[in-house]
Amino acid sequence: MPHENNCYIMALDEGTTSARAVIFSREPSVVGLGQHGFPQIYPRPGWVEHSPDDIWAAQLAAIKDALKSAHLSPEDIAAIGVTNQRETTILWDKATGKPVYNAIVWQCRRTAEIVDDLKREYGDVFKDRTGLIPDSYFSGPKIKWLLDNVAGLRERALRGEILFGTVDSFLIWRLTGGRVHITDYSNASRTLLFNIHKLCWDYDLLDILGIPESLLPEPKPSSQIYGYTDPELFGASIPIAGNLGDQQAALFGQAAFDEGMAKCTYGTGSFLLINIGGCPRKSRDLLTTVAWCIGEKATYALEGSIFISGAAIQWLKESLGLINDLFEIEVLASTVKGSEGVFFVPAFVGLGAPYWDQYARGLIIGLTRGTSRAHIARAALEAIAYLTCDIIESAKETGVKISELRVDGGASKNNLLMQIQADILGLRIIRPRILETTSLGAAYMAGLAVGYWNSLSEISSMWMAEKIFEPSMDRYDRDKLHRVWKEAVKRSLSWAKVLKEAGLE
């Protein structure tokens, strides 16, 4: 399908705290951007909600701002790709489009008890079929909670009056004027309901959770025309042609198309995804997930999440006042050559992959009279790098070979952190020219579906490094430091249990 030179692709990047719209040209360059935040709702400790109408309003406003900032009209957009905060769960009335409850956000822990039961009885079944370790994080238990707790909802659902969607499905349903109820395999693979081998909803798992199939969106590949925007919204009928979860989109936006290619996004937390090709390889400590599906061909990824990474630097700034600005961490940490035996384990909310200990708590160990602010700053950066290294080590146990790591996210701008990461991993770290990898991944999916871009090799050839960090530490030193790091982690494990037993938590 030929395209005029003056048309563009728009990515809708619906995140946890804001909705963005990013317009890309063919090279690709960012030519327009809109971003609107929306409120976080905390009804009880550990519960997190969003209003779906707030998300919708923020997304529409972001689209309008992006068009305005690029001086474009909706007719200039050849296709829209969607990417989103994953797992967040919305149920709405099929006839009126009204949400029946707030969106239950991925961070929300209200389903902890449902999940404990699932894990005990069916942990292996879920892991084998969905690639996931049952956790409150995922959508299935959130749907069950809504059906169990919203008055009359289960009966309405059984009458076929209710629809479920992660945010991608909800946005696409509304953008198409209620005509299209779909999701893509990458988002579906975060629900605990999707069989990642057969690429379909798993009826046994639906039964275990008591979820009627009529709620569910139709799962689709990540790159195809799903439908068109309702002309009443923007005065144009734009194809919606790409859809994938945010971390998978970042992997795609990094052009990590071959087995063993990996990306790490360093934000509040870190998310490391490794392309494992067309077979869903199993890992003891990491999640297996659908990365994307183009045509008939699904690509899988191993995923490890670190709950606190960049947030540790924010903590040093905001809670300890160690630095006044985030960029100062690099300046301060550069004043020393190493952390001189100081290790910082930022387990503020427990530890994710590969430790999976919700009772771990943060520690700084190895302090002496000679310890300075700079050593602590350096230990914080090193911790981010060690946690990433732990995930790569787990991935290697599955036999996957990783040759380099592509990076993005706010903290990836820190050159010292990236050099430390290269040294500790013994791998080349590459930061791309375009750091908007999540939006770019969604744009590529949409662009491929409408022929705006033609092939993965074309996209690969457009990917450009901005800076490369070569490893320079010798293996002996690297292994020694990593061993000591693991000793520090050991000392942080189960600490909340110790406090609890002593009546201190």
Binding footprint of ligand ADP on the chain (CB under 6 A): 267-268, 310-311, 313-314, 326-327, 329-330, 409-411, 413-414, 417
Which CB sits closer to ligand ADP, 52 or 409? 409
Contact 298, 290 (CB under 8 A): yes
Task: In whole angstroms, give the CA distance from residue 353 to residue 303.
Answer: 9
Of 212, 220, 346, 356, the C-alpha closest to 284 is: 356
Give the H or E element holding residue 226: strand 223-228
Question: Tokens 């074309």 identify what position?
Answer: 458
Q: Structure tokens of 327?
A: 């960029």
For residue 36, the minimal CB distance to ligand ADP (Å) is 15
For residue 486, the minimal CB distance to ligand ADP (Å) is 23
For residue 280, the minimal CB distance to ligand ADP (Å) is 27
For residue 411, the minimal CB distance to ligand ADP (Å) is 3
Which CB sits closer to ligand ADP, 294 or 422? 422
User: Across-strand partners of 431?
Assistant: 467
Q: Which residues contact 311 (CB under 8 A, 6 or more apart)?
A: 268, 269, 346, 348
Of 132, 123, 124, 131, the C-alpha closest to 281 is: 131
Which CB sits closer to ligand ADP, 97 or 267? 267
- Beta 270-277 vs 262-266: how paired, if at all? antiparallel
For residue 75, the minimal CB distance to ligand ADP (Å) is 32
Which CB sits closer to ligand ADP, 329 or 434? 329
Q: Structure tokens of 461?
A: 């050839």
The H-assigned helical ranges of 176-285 are: 185-188, 203-209, 231-234, 246-253
For residue 105, the minimal CB distance to ligand ADP (Å) is 14
Which CB sits closer to ligand ADP, 158 or 320? 320
Which CB sits closer to ligand ADP, 326 or 336? 326
- Beta 363-365 vs 262-266: how paired, if at all? unpaired
Q: How many CA atoms lie within 13 A of 425 on its CB side?
A: 32
For residue 336, the minimal CB distance to ligand ADP (Å) is 16
For residue 417, the minimal CB distance to ligand ADP (Å) is 6
For residue 313, the minimal CB distance to ligand ADP (Å) is 4
For residue 416, the minimal CB distance to ligand ADP (Å) is 8
If you count them, how many residues does the chain have? 505
Which CB sits closer to ligand ADP, 77 or 323? 323
The H-assigned helical ranges of 18-166 are: 52-69, 112-130, 139-149, 153-158
For residue 42, the minimal CB distance to ligand ADP (Å) is 17
Checking 94-97 for CB contacts under 8 A at 24+ apart, the result is 94/160, 94/161, 94/162, 94/163, 94/178, 95/161, 97/173, 97/174, 97/178
**Which residue number has the CB closest to ligand ADP?**
410
Q: Is 263 left (phi over 0), alpha (psi -120 to 50) or beta?
A: beta
Question: Tokens 């199939």 identify what position?
Answer: 213
Which CB sits closer to ligand ADP, 325 or 501? 325
Task: In whole angstroms, give the CA distance from residue 122 to residue 80.
Answer: 39
Which CB sits closer to ligand ADP, 188 or 332? 332
Which CB sits closer to ligand ADP, 175 or 313? 313
For residue 415, the minimal CB distance to ligand ADP (Å) is 9
Of 464, 417, 458, 116, the C-alpha closest to 266 is: 417
Residues 70-83: b if buried by 16+ CB within 10 A, e if exposed: bebebebbbbbbbb
Contact 414, 378 (CB under 8 A): no
State phi, psi for 362 to the nearest 5 degrees: -65, 150
For residue 255, the minimal CB distance to ligand ADP (Å) is 19
Which CB sits closer to ligand ADP, 54 or 76? 54
Which CB sits closer to ligand ADP, 332 or 449? 332
Which CB sits closer to ligand ADP, 49 or 330? 330
